[in-house]
Structure 1
Amino acid sequence: MEYYFNTSLNENFDDVIDKVTDELKKEGFGILTEINVNETLKKKLDVDFKRYQILGACNPPFAHQALEAEDKIGTMLPCNVIVQQKNDSTVEVAAVNPLASMQAVENEKLIEIANQISDKLKRVINQLN
């Protein structure tokens, strides 16, 4: 089982961020955090890195269900979606497969929730093309 779902697009990086955010909203996700990795690495280490952004996506009803089922699951939230510049014309989007990580937790209710979230994130990735 892969720990992520991904796709590549031949579009502008900033346009892809907007597109991903819109598709996440359609599936009930909001963006809690945005980490600009390349800016952070430049500031902290003075190194150049490709454009790379991490979006911390959360679907509140599912997050609530997951926390009710397993109170330590917050260590694995939110669901991260990355957008990275692969080359001059290609931008990759990858979303975590929550089912892959949630299987480490022996809780059947949590697995059911992770399956539903995985389906939503797969749809987000598939709708980008």
Structure 2
Amino acid sequence: MVAGDFDTIVQKVTQLLKEQGFGVLTQIGIQQTLKEKLDVDFKKYKILGACNPAFAYKALQAEDKIGTMLPCNIIVQ
């Protein structure tokens, strides 16, 4: 667990992923999405879709259906 400002933590996680060769391809803001679609309040919750191209390529060569699990999801809440 990491404590701090939510947006700062998202930036820090993104940077740490980058340092390990992962890029963040998508960000889904669950709090905003649920408010817009269902008009419900929810805690700050973001899904980061991260991918390391070399790892993804290697995994896809071994099993082409692994694409259902790409990109890798990381949550910040």
TM-score (norm 2): 0.97
Higher relative contact order (CA 8 A, sep 6+): 1
Q: Distance in 2 between matches of 1:60 and 1:43?
A: 33
1:73 aligns with 2:66: yes
Residue of structure 1 equivalent to 2:42 = 49
Q: Secondary structure at the match of 1:72?
A: helix
Aligned 1:109-124 pairs, distance under 5 A: none
- Compute the displacement of 1:9 (Å): 1.8
CA RMSD of aligned residues (A): 0.6
Letter in 2 for 1:31: V
TM-score (norm 1): 0.59
Aligned length: 77
Q: Distance in 2 between matches of 1:21 and 1:54?
A: 11
Q: Distance in 1 between matches of 2:41 and 2:59?
A: 38
Q: Secondary structure at the match of 1:9?
A: coil
Letter in 2 for 1:40: T
Letter in 2 for 1:80: N
Residue of structure 2 equivalent to 1:64 = 57
Runs of 4+ in structure 1 deviating by more than 3 angstroms, as ranges, are none
Unaligned runs of at least 5 residues, structure 2: none
Q: Which has the larger radius of gyration?
A: 1
Q: Distance in 1 between matches of 2:76 and 2:38?
A: 21
